[in-house]
Structure 1
């Protein structure tokens, strides 16, 4: 098997750094993106000392996405695995967000992955080979108070990924949607709040925001183990190797499993309650 080339966004910390390091351990060539090599110097050093490469890219900068991806393709003779990991979260009651803040959320979590997917597909289709990994969240199927914008961006990414997987199935291109629960990364601490925040008017949202702050640094999930499962599902080897090409969604973490089980239960209950009404509307 030829040496795989991985392109991983958001390699500056957390999942991005750990996925890059795990992929390098398989013998792959790895290019990780960071917004600033200087600000992400610790991650850059780890990845490059392990044999990888880091390039600067802000996924919210539309022209840069295509340009940087094509540069990597040209340098390495193609890309085999695209990992859309870069992401961020706005937190607060939905009423408090401005249009610009909402756009900012979607630029990073939805439009960024979309741009890189578009950039990757010509090469993947030409070779009839490739893998796209989109990092979603347990919030991508189960939205909670105070993270409405974040959940909306991940719901959108999930819908895009479902359609993408169907479109690419004849082309031997694998698509994997990863849904992590709470993992001990810097993600919670990097959350943003709206300029017009007035959480007191929404006590439920305020409580959830306070709980997120308390959970920062205490999350039960191990990002190193999560990265290993993701890499295994891509390569087809190891504990998660059997999932390669067999599943669209891969939940990670016992807390994520519980949330998805609860969501399935709610969906089933709503369906049964509304079944008679739903069945009454044909011509």
Structure 2
């Protein structure tokens, strides 16, 4: 029986590709967009392949459970929830205001949390289901300028770790997907703070300059990333052996390299501080 996928943010990039990959593998897909009109091309492509589209703004607390319930009614159940919708707010931490911070967290963290809560009763009742949370390499390694974006992704990763342990007895799988730089419109859609950039933060300016030269030149192929994600969820193909075996799925050479540097740095910190850490017990 074909699995039913509920995928947020299918209006572009990785969300579109995951939807198309699932549809090409004879799965049923319900995708969400904030506006059918603004995403008319992607909506048409997905619907022409047999997918269904619902409108959803994940920052709307009341809409999330209502739209998920509507999605469940279309095919009787949802088997895979993919929390993909999100955006990046970049700027020095000092330059980012409260309202901007709230909007970033509402989209990248609270939205997924709402949909996870909506999905879990059905998943628990059937003792099966998969939750895929698309975070980022920024979810394990925060660069200058990415403070709030990284915070939102770190938060989703922390929630996912606990969630995976809570839901394991119900045969519910949780997969954290951490893409590096993939050739989507991600960099062209970056949001900047309302406050002008504080010039003292040269490291932030350097990252902005790097991102501006990378747009359209990212090494990652989003169609290949979508294929690996589908395989890890479905248990088929190259990444099929990962189904239910891994919590984190880094994607891209750059992500693997930053993972390795982060692990090395954390190991060095632990080695340096172990004696001090162990000196604090009664």
Query: What TM-score do the two structures reach when normalised by structure 2?
Result: 0.99
Alpha-carbon distance between aligned partners in 2 of 1:156 and 1:198, rounded to the nearest angstrom? 25
Q: Does residue 197 in structure 1 map to residue 196 in structure 2?
A: yes
Q: Does residue 219 in structure 1 map to residue 250 in structure 2?
A: no
Q: Does residue 6 in structure 1 map to residue 11 in structure 2?
A: no
Report the 3-state secondary structure (helix = DSSP H, G, I; strand = E; otherwise coil) of the residue aligned with 1:31: strand
Report the 3-state secondary structure (helix = DSSP H, G, I; strand = E; otherwise coil) of the residue aligned with 1:200: coil
Q: Does residue 249 in structure 1 map to residue 243 in structure 2?
A: no
Number of equivalent positions: 282
Equivalent positions of 1:228-247 (< 5 A) are: 228-247=227-246
- Residue equivalent to 2:131: 132
Could you give the per-residue CA deviations for residues 25-55 of structure 1, whole angstroms, max 9, x where no partner exists? 1111100100001100111111011110111
- Residue pair 1:92, 1:199 contacting (<8 A) in 2 also: no
Alpha-carbon distance between aligned partners in 2 of 1:274 and 1:235, rounded to the nearest angstrom? 42
Equivalent positions of 1:1-283 (< 5 A) are: 2-283=1-282
Could you give the per-residue CA deviations for residues 138-163 of structure 1, whole angstroms, max 9, x where no partner exists? 11000000010000000000000000
Alpha-carbon distance between aligned partners in 1 of 2:154 and 2:197, rounded to the nearest angstrom? 25
Q: CA RMSD in A?
A: 0.6
Alpha-carbon distance between aligned partners in 2 of 1:279 and 1:140, rounded to the nearest angstrom? 28
Alpha-carbon distance between aligned partners in 2 of 1:32 and 1:141, rounded to the nearest angstrom? 27
After the TM superposition, list the runs of 4 or more consecutive aligned residues in structure 1 that deviate by more than 2 angstroms.
none
Deviation at 1:134, TM superposition (A): 0.2
Alpha-carbon distance between aligned partners in 1 of 2:221 and 2:74, rounded to the nearest angstrom? 33
- Residue pair 1:184, 1:221 contacting (<8 A) in 2 also: yes
Unaligned segments of structure 2, at least 5 residues: none
- Residue pair 1:57, 1:64 contacting (<8 A) in 2 also: yes
Alpha-carbon distance between aligned partners in 1 of 2:258 and 2:205, rounded to the nearest angstrom? 21
